[in-house]
Amino acid sequence: MTMTPEQAAWFQGTFARLVDNVDQALMGKRDVVALVLSAMLAEGHVLLEDAPGTGKTSLAKALAATVQGTSTRIQFTPDLLPSDVTGVTIYDQTSRRFEFHRGPVFASIVLADEINRASPKTQSALLEVMEESRVTVDGVAHEVGRPFLVIATQNPIEQAGTYKLPEAQLDRFLIKTSIGYPDLAVAERILAGAADRNPSAHLPAIITTGAVADMADLAATVHVDPAVLRYTAQLAEATRDDKATRLGVSVRGSLAMIRIAKVFAAAQGRHFVLPDDVKSLAGPAWTHRIVLDPEAEFGGTTAETVIARVLESVAAPQARSAA
């Protein structure tokens, strides 16, 4: 079943209300909010590469408040254990049985702060839950529920004492983006409200977590023309064939593009995906999946350079609007 124009119009209106609500706490960053919200509705996860103090925690709290969900924050440190993330089974002497104590990963929005400061073993504890939306402890699977969004952060400047995220884990993130610093006018507004240390606490809930899950299911029904699918595959293949790359966009990366492009289209009131949607999302959806050749990287080539070159070299189709 394909989304109807009427459903697309409802989706657009609801999506705009959600962005407006979160924007009250994270001022002047509507594009970032829309991108992160799209990732949540595409049931993916977000990697934020930002300097400290740019509003990452505020974003997570505001999203959770907007959808009547829960939020947790995990500060990743070198001594953090996998069980500190997922939870642990403890023997209860009173009941004489083992009971599972849930870890902080059991929340609607999980902020994994400075994820690259934890050991690879602890980083990998997130892999199953990010991919399967469940954790397995002592052979027993525990579902985390819907919606479930991991917002992982890493500091792009200070790399001392950090563990670089492996390509396999980077590929698990649907998008990579940054919030950045506000402009002068917005900074003045933020400073004017400095007395309110937790603006997210006053945000009204717009929809329930159940409605978010329904929106995610509805977005999955957006039509994608075969020509757009072929275009996406051609772009991904071109990143793998580019002379500056050692590793291009994987099949998982192509699937991620289609998932978020459907949400992106619905958020604009369309029940079909355009090639321009793919172009707009190529940066956040694909740059973190590209591994550059060391020589090309030394010469100044970036993942953004490769994406721009690929978008220019691969001709976009004239896709039909709907099936």
CA distance 103 to 46: 20
**Residue 128 confidence (pLDDT) above 50:** yes
End-to-end CA distance of the chain: 11
> Which CATH topology does 222-313 take?
Helicase, Ruva Protein; domain 3 (1.10.8)
Q: Where are the domains of the chain?
A: 5-219, 222-313
Number of other CB atoms surrounding residue 289 within 10 Å? 22
Q: Is the confidence at residue 44, as pLDDT, over 70?
A: yes
**Mean local confidence (pLDDT), 168-194:** 85
- CA pair distance 67, 106, nearest whole angstrom: 16
CA separation for the pair 246, 93 (Å, rounded):
55
Q: What is the pLDDT of residues 236-290, one digit of tens each?
A: 999 999 999 999 999 999 999 999 999 999 999 999 999 999 999 999 999 999 9
pLDDT at 321 over 50: no
Burial of 281 per CB tally in 10 Å (0-12, 13-18, 19+)? buried
Question: pTM for the full model?
Answer: 0.90
State the Cα–Cα distance between residues 140 and 87, nearest whole angstrom: 12
Predicted local confidence at residue 320, as pLDDT: 56
Residue 195 has pLDDT above 70, yes or no: no
Residue 4 near residue 221 (C-beta atoms within 8 A): no
Where does the pLDDT of residue 160 fall: very low under 50, low under 70, confident under 90, or very high at 90 and above?
low
> How large a percentage of the chain has pLDDT more than 90?
63
pLDDT of 34 reads 96
Q: Is 279 left (phi over 0), alpha (psi -120 to 50) or beta?
A: alpha
Q: Domain 5-219 is classified in which CATH homologous superfamily?
A: P-loop containing nucleotide triphosphate hydrolases (3.40.50.300)
**pLDDT score recorded for residue 323:** 45
Band of pLDDT at residue 164, cut at 50, 70 and 90: confident
Name the one residue in this structure whose structure tokens are 């924050």. 73
d(CA 62, CA 45): 16
Residue 322 has pLDDT above 80, yes or no: no
- Model confidence pLDDT, tens digit, residues 48-102: 988 787 888 889 999 999 999 999 999 998 899 999 999 998 988 888 888 899 9
Strand partners, 247: 291
| Predicted local confidence at residue 225, as pLDDT | 94
Please name every residue paired with 141 in a beta bridge, in sequence order, or none if there are none.
136
- pLDDT tens-place string over residues 214-243: 999 999 999 999 999 999 999 999 999 999
The mean pLDDT value for 109-126 works out to: 88
- If we measure between CA atoms, which residue out of 224, 18, 66 comes closest to residue 10? 18
19-23, 60-64, 162-166: least confidently modelled range: 162-166
